[in-house]
Structure 1
Amino acid sequence: MGTCADTNISSDLESNTTGVTTFSMPGWQLALWATAYLILVLVAVMGNATVIWIILAHQRMRTVTNYFIVNLAVADLCMAAFNAVFNFVYASHNIWYFGRAFCYFQNLFPVTAMFVSIYSMTAIAADRYMAIVHPFQPRLSAPGTRAVIAGIWLVALALAFPQCFYSTIIMDQGATKCVVAWPEDNDGKILLLYHLTVIALIYFLPLVVMFVAYSIIGLTLWRHTVPGYDAHGANRHYLQAKKKFVKTMVLVVVTFAICWLPYHLYFILGNFQEDIYCHKFIQQVYLALFWLAMSSTMYNPIIYCCLNRRFRSGFRIAFRCCPWVTPTEEDKIELTHTPSLSRRVNQCHTKETLFINGGDVASSEATSGQAGDPQHGVPAES
């Protein structure tokens, strides 16, 4: 990112460099920003940790789709716990207090976590696309799901590695800085190309893929007949559950896109007009844009809780120690009891299990040659 002789603030995903600054923030203003970031971190960490517990602690919740939701929650939790806290301190003081090793980590992890988050959403969109548009095609097995998750993390680390590799600690007029010392690039084209590539891969490309996938899913669910199902009886409730889950995930994706767009535009603009970092108001602008971007890590648990009955039951059980939360027997049944009705459809070596419990019908899980596998036949919509 650009630097300014006496004023600059820039950091995090694309470069994490900060030059000398004369920014000083009144104590009350710093306290307000610290409170805003503290609330964000607490909600994100507690919410995502609860989502992880709800899925992993209950056999009924362990599905291919929900494992990707766990992966998304892990990335969001770590992003809030590490990047949001330490980058806020760096941005508000413009001094790096955390040593060389954490400087490497801080330039590696944000890109990695964001890549994992958005590609977990992309994997969910692909899984729902196969389940709804091609319900009789083979689906991901449990080992296949683990392989996809591992692949997402490995590619994410590879994408973030150059920024970590060139990270270093410098002293700039008596202040310690965590910077990315890129190789000689007189015209800045290499740096610009890397930044634009990262933004394309961790934002624009997966959003286009998900837009196409959910558009086709929407047309299939709302305008056409889903292959293998009629519009009456149990199937009608089942299709309604599919629609509800798709709406939930579309809201998750749209929220992510809105939260991160201003932040990415800020850094794209900075690559073409470096003097924006010299304006005195840029510190407040950056802190606001960074808070908005980091706030994407706390919305998903809220969305799940509001729109999904089983997650809502899980949250009530998890927070039963709070005096205003009273879990019911129905909440325990939602997460622990075997559903009351199941239907298996075998075609082309494919098994699809549908569960109907009360009025809330969960999405199907179709797998190839997985008869008797406890990993499957568990509601994905849950």
Structure 2
Amino acid sequence: MGMCAAMTVTNTSSSLESNTTGVTAFSMPSWQLALWATVYLALMLVAVIGNATVIWIILAHQRMRTVTNYFIVNLALSDLSMAAFNVAFNFIYASHNIWYFGRAFCYFQNLFPIMSIFVSIYSMTAIAADRYMAIVHPFQPRLSSLATKAVIVGIWLVALALAFPQCLYSTITVDQGATKCKVIWPEDSEGRKRLLYHLVLIVLIYFLPLLVMFLAYSVIGFTLWRRGVPRHQAHGANLRHLQAKKFVKMMVLVVVTFAICWLPYHFYFILDKFWKDIYHQKFIQQVYLVIFWVAMSSTMYNPIIYCCLNHRFRSGFRLAFRCCPWVTPIEEDKIELTHTPSISMRLNRCHTKEIVCMAGDLAPSEAINGQAGGPPEGVLTEL
């Protein structure tokens, strides 16, 4: 989930009143609980299976192991972990308002969601920065595979540091017979420290990276759409130019989807500053479950977007689900993930400086082997 005390059900539920029997005042009828459980279960299945398939497509096929795709693996891993380790537990807490999972998992649930959302959005930011360098500055040194992995590790370490206060101040309490998992800030009776922390989180894991990506993709789009293709390279270059545009559109859709899904959730946790007792209202549970589902649904959309908008991922999904009776792989699917362009084709793409410039402009991903560190090697291939 999102920012634990700022961004998890853990905190929200702890605000709701409970009765002396241990059954909360916000307990739902059985039919309503079953309906919500079905909706959340469907989300989890799609997110876990979809992101696991994306990871397999990239790591199991040498051609897919590129710098850009390593960041996509990191994004998919973050989304998969969020769906697997956060959704069900926080749904149960939100629907019962009782913490069943012990002290250790209380710490984890107030730590991991912030880490996961940070990793997700900064993986997208890293992809935008990588595409910016490839397209706008094609002659600048590029990240190597080793440097890319170091960046990924750095993202996780910064995420851990940012989320640590939530874990540090997590505690288990008993409120009128019901066990709660809360984040209690020391000497913060008016909630100022909590509010400041949440606002900083919202800026760092939402508005700031979105601003960076907006600027990066704006420049990338301007570069791609304003620069023409040399006539003597019309056939191949036009195709690669079209592929580059498709990749940019795909990643912009990923970012926009993420932004839309998480916007209501971020604002939900500062509502009490405008309506003091809003978290004690009966309707707030249903409002929260809707907002929480929308935020968590961001973990399942990316595989669908990749499959719909990228032919290599589409081939990978057909191969991954070839055992399903409604999926029919074609002969080109395996070739699409394993075939490497001939050396003559690659040399032909970079025989002039003009075409090398186009290489940076058109590149939707890294060179075939994913290695970089020098000027681009001709027009780079699609994801």
What is the aligned partner in structure 2 of residue 185 from structure 1? Answer: 188
CA gap 1:201/1:155 in 2 versus in 1, 3 angstroms: same
What is the aligned partner in structure 2 of residue 276 from structure 1? Answer: 278
Correspondence 1:172-251 to 2 at 5 A = 172-225=175-228, 232-251=234-253
What is the aligned partner in structure 2 of residue 263 from structure 1? Answer: 265
1:381 counterpart SS class: coil
CA drift at 1:272: 4.0
CA gap 1:311/1:255 in 2 versus in 1, 3 angstroms: same
AA matched with 1:235: A
CA drift at 1:240: 1.1
| 2:78 is the alignment partner of 1:75 | yes
2:187 counterpart SS class: coil
CA drift at 1:16: 5.8
CA drift at 1:218: 0.7
2:182 counterpart SS class: strand
AA matched with 2:373: S
What is the aligned partner in structure 2 of residue 5 from structure 1? Answer: none
Would you tell me which structure has more strand in proportion to its own residues? Answer: 1
Number of residue-to-residue matches in the alignment: 362
- Find the aligned partners of 2:332 and 2:363 in 1 and give their Cα distance: 15
What is the aligned partner in structure 1 of residue 382 from structure 2? Answer: 381
CA drift at 1:239: 1.3
- CA-to-aligned-CA distance 1:280-304 (integer Å, 9 cap, x gap): 1000000000000000000000000
- Find the aligned partners of 1:128 and 1:47 in 2 and give their Cα distance: 24
What is the aligned partner in structure 2 of residue 12 from structure 1? Answer: 8
What is the aligned partner in structure 2 of residue 153 from structure 1? Answer: 156
AA matched with 2:382: E
2:173 counterpart SS class: strand
| 2:336 is the alignment partner of 1:334 | yes
CA gap 1:86/1:377 in 2 versus in 1, 3 angstroms: farther
| 2:42 is the alignment partner of 1:39 | yes
TM-score by length of 2: 0.88
Match of 2:99 among 92, 96, 104: 96
C-alpha contact (below 8 Å) 1:75/1:113 kept by paired residues? yes
Unaligned regions of 5+ residues in structure 2, if any?
A: 19-24
- Find the aligned partners of 1:99 and 1:328 in 2 and give their Cα distance: 49
Match of 2:32 among 14, 29, 33: 29
What is the aligned partner in structure 1 of residue 372 from structure 2? Answer: 367
Identity of aligned residues (%): 70
AA matched with 1:381: E
TM-score by length of 1: 0.88
1:25 counterpart SS class: coil
AA matched with 2:172: I
- Find the aligned partners of 2:313 and 2:127 in 1 and give their Cα distance: 17
What is the aligned partner in structure 2 of residue 131 from structure 1? Answer: 134
C-alpha contact (below 8 Å) 2:185/2:193 kept by paired residues? no
AA matched with 2:49: M
1:24 counterpart SS class: coil
What is the aligned partner in structure 2 of residue 168 from structure 1? Answer: 171
- CA-to-aligned-CA distance 1:23-51 (integer Å, 9 cap, x gap): 12111111110000000000000000000
CA drift at 1:338: 1.7
C-alpha contact (below 8 Å) 1:237/1:361 kept by paired residues? no
Unaligned regions of 5+ residues in structure 1, if any?
A: 1-8, 355-359
AA matched with 2:322: R
- Find the aligned partners of 2:12 and 2:99 in 1 and give their Cα distance: 11
1:274 counterpart SS class: coil
What is the aligned partner in structure 1 of residue 297 from structure 2? Answer: 295
